[in-house]
Amino acid sequence: MVDILITDVAEESKQALARQAAQRGLTLDAYLREMLEHHAQAEEAPETVEPLGSWLVGISRPGADLDDALAELRSAPVRRADLE
């Protein structure tokens, strides 16, 4: 394993993360490690996935090609839902 050092994190952010860790019965280090490993193993980065609401708005606009949108959706790889 390697070490990762992250600097210049706001104190409020650190406190919020520590609270989230405590709610899950984890230390801050264990919680952050779990989050990093989870995101590193994800098929796509979270910011590259279009939110469902945005997709629905896009396909409901006049002139949107619903057949193309559905074909793209059906050809996309199946991803496990993140319910957190």
Contact 43, 79 (CB under 8 A): yes
Q: Is the residue at 5 inside a domain?
A: no
Task: Tell me the residue range of the domain where 53 lies.
Answer: 46-75
Give the C-alpha separation, 51 to 84, whole Å: 15
Q: Is the residue at 33 inside a domain?
A: yes
Alpha carbon 42 to its chain centroid, in Å, reads 8
Give the C-alpha separation, 47 to 25, whole Å: 28
Q: Is the residue at 80 inside a domain?
A: no
Question: Do residue 31 and residue 50 come from a single domain?
Answer: no
Q: How many domains does the chain have?
A: 2
Contact 32, 18 (CB under 8 A): no
pLDDT of residue 48: 65
Among 15-19, 38-42, 66-70, 71-75, the minimum mean pLDDT is found in: 38-42
Question: Do residue 35 and residue 53 come from a single domain?
Answer: no
Q: Is the residue at 3 inside a domain?
A: no
Q: Which two tokens stand for residue 10?
A: 């706001």
Q: Answer whether 0.85 is exceeded by the pTM.
A: no
> Among 47, 14, 46, 49, which Cα is nearest to 32's?
14
Tell me: the pLDDT tens digits for 1-60?
A: 889 888 888 899 999 999 999 999 999 999 999 888 877 776 665 556 677 788 788 888
